[in-house]
Structures are given as structure tokens and as C-alpha cells.
Structure 1
Amino acid sequence: MRWLLNIWRTLTKPAQYLTLGTVSVSAFLMGVIFWGGFNTALEATNTEEFCISCHSMESMPYKELQETVHWSNHSGVRATCPDCHVPHEWSRKIGRKIEASHDVWGWLLQTVNTPEKFEDKRLEMASREWKRFDRDNSLACKNCHNYDSMKWDSMSKLAQKQMKRAAELDQSCIDCHKGIAHKLPDMGTARAPELIAEVGSGVNGLEVDQSYFTALTKPVYFNEKTDVEAGTLNIATKVKVLELKGNRAKIGIDGWRKKIGAGRVIYYDFGLNILSAQLTKDAALEEGVIQTFEEKEDPMTGLKWQRVEAVIWTDTDYLLSDLQPLWNYARSTYSDSCSVCHTQPDEAHFDANTWPGMFQGMIAFVNMDQDTQALVQKYLQEHSSTFDKSAH
């Protein structure tokens, strides 16, 4: 402790023999040395060589980059890892370096050290980067690509139309160009992590005789024990809990079905192609699963419809007590994703049975997992002119 006290006294004791100029110059030189060392270390971690020194980065995303136009093109200009993933502005660069501590932690825990682990985390990592690009308005892209310098005449008519509109809005590049440098995640089978982060993974402690809404598309089962699936329960479907056993719930699904074949598809309402559940043929024919009530004929198609209740089992997770968070997420997703290429029509512009065809034509230009697609389509159908007469 004595030597520490001596050092402290020395550091805090006023200089007796050094002039103010000497102290100032010494402090300046020490500052220069410190700043030079700090900046050198910063730049050393801001090189492609440093990025791919991690095996998981070299073996996956770096190899994917080599197959794209950002690696090899007619102009000979190549984008490196820091060009896209590290902001050029100093203060934002420091913030990004602090964020990168998460990557170092992942490296220590070997989170993505195998191709299988990498694929499992690809959507999560990509979603995080897409959000960062959106937050920065794709500034990393615009450091090289400038709307004002684009040669419109060399583009196709469709590209001109889309890019000129993007230029007018100063749109974020990532809205349209996901997957331009790395492979896209498997959006078709993902379980909508952004959606679940927004609405939650379900109610803890379901109650019998209460109604809930599905936060994801869920499998249904014949009973509380079997793993044999009896069909699927669509997202944003209202169900009533009839019985609880362990992590399974017996539910009732009210709706309508077309009186054709096994009648295994249950719709939200008479004459409306809004999906609530699809049972397997065996489940639809199983005694006690579907109870039928009234029967009506659709004057538009001549098909007979039956009002039904399906009683089936499902897992207790991803059941919400409130539908509104799902609609809020669907509304914002529709607004953000479907305004990329054009002005999206209002929800009440089409009727419930027209929306599926219109929406399926839109999703070819955006990246949505299957759950989000189903949710947005259902949101559009249930907020269509069929239910909102004010638009027409």
C-alpha cells in the first residue's frame, strides 16, 4: 500500500522544477501517442482480414460474398466487410464497435462455429443487420451508391420506375435489396422471431372457458398424448379452451366449411375464404371432432356451406388473450413492406375473397416468413370492404 500512496502523492504533487510549457508539451505528446495507439488498434479491427480471422465468418458469409457482384464486377470496385457493416462516421463507428462485443461473446461461446449452427442463427443475425440498415437509412450502401449519380437510361423500365420513386423518398436500400451480398435466410419455415418479439409467446396459465388467439400457425392433435398431427391451426384464429391437461389444451374452433369432400378446411365465416384451420382427412372424418349445425347455399358459387365447431387438441404455447397486438404488427408490416415498390391499396379497397390473390402477387417482392404472410393476409381480409363499408 505504501508504494501506491507514494505514486499517488507524486502524481498529485505540484511540479517544482518543470515549466508549464514542458508539462503542456508532455501532455500533448502523451495524448498524441495514446490517440495514435487507439486509432491504430481501431483500424486494425476494421479490416477484412480481421473480420475473416474468425473461422465461422470466413467459411460462410465471406465465401457467399465472393459469389456476388459486390466481390467481382465490370468496374473492379469491391466492397469489403467493413464497407457495409461498419459506419464511416467516427462516433457511429465507435457505437458499432461496442455493439460488436456481442459478436465476440458469440465467438467465445461458439454460437455459430458449424454450418448447422450458422443456418439456425442466420435469420436472427440477418434481422439484426436489416434493422441496423433501416435505422441508418442504408448509409453504408449510400457511401458508394448515390441516387443523384444513377444513370436512369441504362435501367429497365421497371427498375427506372422503382428506383426513381426510391430516390424521391430517399428510401433505404435494404427495403428491396436484402440478399444482395449474402444468402437470404430460409424465410419460408422460420417461426417469425420479429413477430413473437413484438406480441409475445403466449399467456402463462390458460383458463378453461376463456377465448384466446393464435400467435403462430400451430399443429393440432387428436388427443392430449399423441404426437400425430391432425392438421394446422391458422394464425390469428380465435379458439375457446375447453380442457387443460399438462402442456396441451382441448380447444373449440367455430367457423364454416364447404360441403365438399371431407370438409376438412374451416373458414372464419360463411362464404369467406379466410382460413381458420385445416384438418387432415382422417381428423375431419373422426367421430366427435367436427359437429355441424345450420347449412346455407352461397348464391355466388352455388356451394353449400355448413356452420361447424371443431374440437381438437393443441399445445398451450403461442396463445394470446388479445388480438390487437397481432393486428398492430400486421398493419405496420403491411405499411412498411408493401409500400416499397408502390403505394399500397387501403385495406378496405378489396373484399375478403379478392385480397388473397392480390396479396400473393405482392409478397414475391418482399421477404416474409410464412407466419407473417398468413397474418398480414388475414389482417387484410378481416379489414376489407366486406367488413368496412365506408370505402365503397
Structure 2
Amino acid sequence: MRWLLNIWRTLTKPAKYLTLGAVSLSAFLMGIIFWGGFNTALQATNTEEFCISCHGMESMPYQELQKTVHWSNHSGVRATCPDCHVPHEFGPKMARKLEASHDVYGWLFNTINTPEKYDEKRLEMASREWKRFDQNKSLACKNCHDYKSMKWDSMSKLAQKQMKRAAETDQSCIDCHKGIAHTLPNMGTARAPELIAEVGLGVTNLKVGQSYFSSLTKPLFLNENTDVEAGTLNIATKVKILEMKGNRAQIGIEGWRKKIGAGRVIYYDFGLNILSAQLTKDAALEKGVINTFEEKEDPMTGLIWQRVEADLWIEADYLLSDLQPLWDYARGTYNTSCSVCHTQPAPAHFDANTWPGMFQGMIAFVNMDQDTQALVQKYLQEHSSTFDKSAH
């Protein structure tokens, strides 16, 4: 400790022979040397060579990049790792460097040092980058690609229509161009990677007799063996596990259907057009699939509705024990995506049967996959004035 005290006394002792000018000049020169060293070190970490010095980066994403148009194209312009993943402005660049501490942790503990580990983490990593691109409207892309510089006449009519609409709202490139530089994650039956990354893959140990909620739109089957689909289970639908066999589960879907035709569509509740499941005609007419109970007449339409339970089979994945994460994701998506053109109405502004028509008119102006569309619409319906009387 004595040597530390001696250093401290030396540093705090007033200068006996140096002038204020000498001290100021020394400090100025030391500042230049420090800044030069800092900037040199910072730039060294902003090179492709530095990025691929990690085996996990060199052996997987770097190899994928070399197969894309960002690596080789007719213009000869190549995008490197920092071009897309490191902001150019100093402030955002420093924030990104702090975030990179997570990458250092992964390197130290070999989180993605094998192709198998990398593929397991691919969806998580991709979703994190997609979210970052979405937050800054794909600024890294727009450093090279500028809406104002695009040659519209060289595009197809469909591309012109989509790109001009995107240019009007300065839309984030990543909304439509995922997978353009790296291989898309293997999402299995998932068509909504951001949604699955947010809510998870679901419960892995389903229990007979327990109820769960579907986190995706899922195919239905008549038994545990067939691959012939008997219909679809809508997202955010409550199901009860009746039996488990291998990777399939027999479920009970409770709801109501209109007593007309084959009665293939099962709704959430009496008189409400909130979709729970849609069966094929053959499945709806199959004996033992649909059990009917009470009947009621809808005073608004004069149609007879039946309370039913449909017993069918699904793959035992993407089932959640709690509905709230789905609603949280739907609410956030609605608030961000549907406020691009104007202030969006509150969920309780319309009733459950009015929302589908209103929402379908909105989604023409945003980019949503079908599962997310179905989830947001269902969120709006189940939080509408039909259930929440506070708005009116």
C-alpha cells in the first residue's frame, strides 16, 4: 500500500518547477495521444478481420454472407460486417460497443462455437438484430440504399408499388427484406419469428387435463397418426389436453358455431365472430369430432347458434400456459405498427364484431405476417367494447 500512497502524494503535490503553460501543454499532448490510441483501438474493432477472428462468426455467418448479393454483385460494392452491424455516428456506435459485451460473453463461454449451437441461437440473434434495425428504421441499410436515389423505372410494377409506398413512410427495410444477407432461422411451423422469440416455444411437458393457449395458428388432425389436415386452430385459442401420444396431443376446443351448413367454424362465444378453429367439411361431419350442447337464437341475425366442443389432434408444440404474453405482444405490435398513418383507435372503441372489418382496412398499410395479423385482430376483439365498457 505504501507505493500507492507515494504515487498519490506525487500526483497531488503542486508543481514546483513546471509552469501553468507547461502543465497545460502536457495535458493537451497527453489528450491527443490518449484520443489517438482510443480511436485507433476503436477502429480496429470495426473491421471485418476483427469480426471474423471469432471462430463462430467466421465459420457460420461469414460463410453465409459470401453466398449473397451483398458479397458479390454487378456493381462491385461489398457490405462488410461493421457496415451493417455498427452505426456510423459516434453516440450510437459507442452504445453498440457496450452491447457487444454480450458477444464477448458468448465468445468466452463458447455459446455459438459449433454449427449446432449457432443454429439453436439463430432465431434469438436474428430477432435481436431485426428489432434493432426496426428501431432505427434500418439506418445501416439506408447508409447505402436511399429511397431518393432509386430508379423506379427499372423495377417491376409490383416492386414500384411496394417500394414507393415504403418510401412515403420511410419504412424500415428489414420489414420486407429479412434473410437477405444471412440464412433465415429454421422456424419450423413458426411464421412469426419475432412473436415466437418474444413469447417462447411453449410448454415442453404438457399435462393431461390442463388448459393451454396456442401461440401460433396450428393444423388440426383427426387422429395421432394421419398427416391429412382436418382444419386449423386459431392463434390465442384456449384448448384442454385430453390425451398425449408421442409428439401429438388430443385437445378439446370449446366454443359456439352457427347451425348452418356443416357448421365448420368454431367461435369464441355466442354471437361473437372471434375465431377459435376452422374445420374442413369432412372433419366437421365426422362422427364424434363435434359434440353439441345447448342452442340459442341470435336476436341480431336470427341465426341459431350451438354450444360445442370439438375433439381433435395437434402437434404438441407452441402451446403456452399463460395468455398474457400473447396479449402483451399484440398490444405492442398494434401500438407501433398501426400508428404509422394516424393515431389508432383504442381497442374498446369498437365492439368485437366491428373490429375485423376495421382492422382489415388497416393492415394494407403495414407489414405483418398472417399469425401476427390474426393475433392482433383477436386481441382487439377480446379487448373491445363488448368486454370493456369503459370507453362507451
> Does TM, normalized by the shorter one, top 0.5?
yes
Helix, strand or coil: the match of 1:87? coil
Alpha-carbon distance change, 136 to 200 in structure 1, aligned in 2, over 3 angstroms: same
SS class of match (1:177): coil
1:166 is aligned to 2:187:
no
Amino acid at match of 1:112: I
> Matches of 2:134 and 2:378 in 1, distance apart?
26
Using the alignment, how far apart are the partners of 1:170 and 1:252 within structure 2? 43
Distance 1:234 1:138 in 2: 32
| 1:79 partner letter | A
| Gap change, CA 1:90 and 1:290, over 3 Å in 2 | same
Deviation at 1:265, TM superposition (A): 7.3
Equivalence for 1:300? none
Q: Which of 309, 319, 323 is residue 322 of structure 2 equivalent to?
A: 319
Change (3 A) 1:258 1:333: farther
Residues 8, 191 of structure 1: alpha-carbon distance in 2 compared, 3 angstrom cutoff: farther
Distance in structure 2 (CA, Å) of the matches to 1:25 and 1:88: 32
Tell whether the 8 Å contact from 1:233 to 1:276 is kept in structure 2 after alignment. Answer: yes
Q: Which residue identity lines up with residue 320 of structure 1 in the other structure?
A: L
Shift of the alpha carbon at 1:351? 5.7
| Aligned 8 A contact 1:295 1:305 in 2 | yes
Residues 250 and 311, structure 2, Cα contact 8 Å, conserved in 1:
no
2:175 matches 1:175 = yes
Residue 126 (structure 1) aligned with residue 141 (structure 2): no
1:32-86 CA-to-partner distances (Å, cap 9, x unmatched) read: 2111111111111110011111111112211111111111111111111111110
Please name the residue that 1:82 is paired with.
82
How far apart are the structure 1 equivalents of 2:103 and 2:308? 52
User: 2:127 & 2:143 partners in 1: Cα distance?
Assistant: 22
Distance verdict in 2 for CA 1:210–1:189, change over 3 Å: closer
Give the partner amino acid of 2:331.
N
**Aligned match of 1:27:** 27
Q: Match of 1:89, as an amino acid?
A: E
Q: Which residue of 1 aligns with 2:46?
A: 46
Cα distance, 1:149–1:217 mapped onto 2, change above 3 Å: closer
5 Å-filtered alignment, 1:134-283, equals: 134-190=134-190, 194-195=194-195, 214-215=214-215, 234-238=234-238, 253-256=254-257, 266-268=266-268, 274-276=275-277
Deviation at 1:213, TM superposition (A): 5.4
- The separation in 2 between residues aligned to 1:191 and 1:375, in whole angstroms, is 12
Once the two structures are TM-superposed, the CA of residue 255 in structure 1 deviates from its matched residue by 3.0
Task: Give the structure 2 partner of residue 301 of structure 1.
Answer: none
Contact 2:138 2:174 in 1 (8 A): yes
The answer as to whether partners of 2:138 and 2:172 remain within 8 angstroms in 1 is yes
Q: In the TM superposition, what is the alpha-carbon distance from 1:2 to its structure 2 partner?
A: 1.9
Q: Which residue of 1 aligns with 2:68?
A: 68
Distance in 2 separating the partners of 1:255 and 1:55: 56
SS at match of 2:117: helix
TM-score normalised per structure 2? 0.68
Change in CA separation of 1:211 and 1:50 when aligned onto 2, cut-off 3 Å: closer
Q: In structure 2, the residue corresponding to 1:319 is in which secondary structure? A: coil
Cα distance in 1, alignment partners of residues 99 and 335 from structure 2: 27
Identity, in percent, stands at: 68
Cα distance, 1:294 vs structure 2: 5.1
Aligned residues: 353
CA contact (8 A) 1:195 1:329 kept: no
TM-score (norm 1): 0.68
Q: Give, as a single letter, the amino acid of the residue that structure 2 aligns with 1:186.
A: N
Runs of at least 5 residues in structure 2 that lack an aligned partner in the other structure = 204-208, 243-248, 298-303, 343-349, 388-392
Instruction: Flag the 1:174–1:323 CA change in 2: closer, same or farther, 3 A.
Output: closer
Deviation at 1:112, TM superposition (A): 1.5
User: How many Å apart are 1:167 and its aligned residue?
Assistant: 2.3
Q: Is the 8 A contact 1:348 1:383 kept in 2?
A: no
Q: Distance in 2 between matches of 1:271 and 1:6?
A: 81
Could you say what the CA RMSD is over the residues aligned between the two structures, in angstroms?
5.2
Aligned to 2:37: 37
Task: Read off the aligned partner of 2:19 and give its amino acid letter.
Answer: T
Amino acid corresponding to residue 255 of structure 1 in structure 2 = W
CA spacing shift, 1:239–1:200, aligned 2, 3 Å: same
* C-alpha distance in 1 between matches for 2:127 and 2:89: 23
Alignment of 1:92 with 2:68, yes or no, is no
